[in-house]
Structures are given as structure tokens and as C-alpha cells.
Amino acid sequence: DAGVIQSPRHEVTEMGQEVTLRCKPISGHDYLFWYRQTMMRGLELLIYFNNNVPIDDSGMPEDRFSAKMPNASFSTLKIQPSEPRDSAVYFCASSLAGQGDGYTFGSGTRLTVV
């Protein structure tokens, strides 16, 4: 398996623009997680899905952020409108329920909002 695949690796956008980050989890994994990492706040869980259904979105910072998982092999995290304070590295991770295998992380998307 190719692992968790995120795209793009880098994104630079202007304030106010819409940004869409993409994630393809490992085939067969039934949990998907979106994290944000910054120097100031560390690793933050934004939202996670089980079998394509959002389970906990309490970490989503505000209504400008939304996430979807239309099928088992694809998820998006959208920011609209983007702001400079959204600049961070966004990670997607997937896992298999109850197996104690932990998460497999993607390589992340480095977002810069100017």
C-alpha cells in the first residue's frame, strides 16, 4: 500500500481565497483523522470520521473550516475564506478500529496564507 496520500504538499494562497486539502487513506482503514500542527499550538485534532461519518468535529476552529468524506477512499478539508492565522501543516491520518496499530500519517500539506 502507498500509505496515506495527501495533496498538495505545499499550498500558498491569498487571504480570502478558498483552500481545499485532500487525503486518500489506506485502503481498508475505517477511521480518518485531520490534524493541524503549528509551532504555537502543537498537534491539534480537528475532526475525525468513522466509516465516512464525522464523529467529532469539536476541534474545528470555526465555521470557515469544513470537512467531508464522500467515500472510504477520499476526504477533503476546506477553508473558506482563508486567513493568515490558518497557516500551518495539516496532516491526515487513518487507522483500523480496535487493532491497536495506531495511526498512519500522511506527509502533510504545508499551507501558507499571505
User: How is residue 63 written as a grid cell?
Assistant: 465555521
Residue 50 near other proteins by CB under 8 A: yes
Residue 94: CB minimum distance to other proteins, A = 10
56 with 50: CB under 8 angstroms? Answer: no
Work out whether 97 is an interface residue with other proteins (CB under 8 A): yes
Count interface residues toward other proteins (CB under 8 A). 25
CB 94 within 8 A of CB 29: yes
Q: Does 100 bind other proteins (CB under 8 A)?
A: yes
| In the complex, minimum distance from the CB of residue 32 to other proteins, in angstroms, rounded to a whole number | 10
Sign (positive/negative) of CA torsion 59, 61, 63, 69? negative
Closer residue to other proteins, CB minimum distance, 70 or 100: 100
Is 95 one of the binding residues for other proteins (CB under 8 A)? yes
Binding segment for other proteins (CB under 8 A), chosen from 13-21, 48-56, 62-70, 71-79, is: 48-56
C-alpha torsion angle, residues 10, 23, 5, 84 (rounded to 10): 20
Pairing of strands 74-79, 65-71: antiparallel
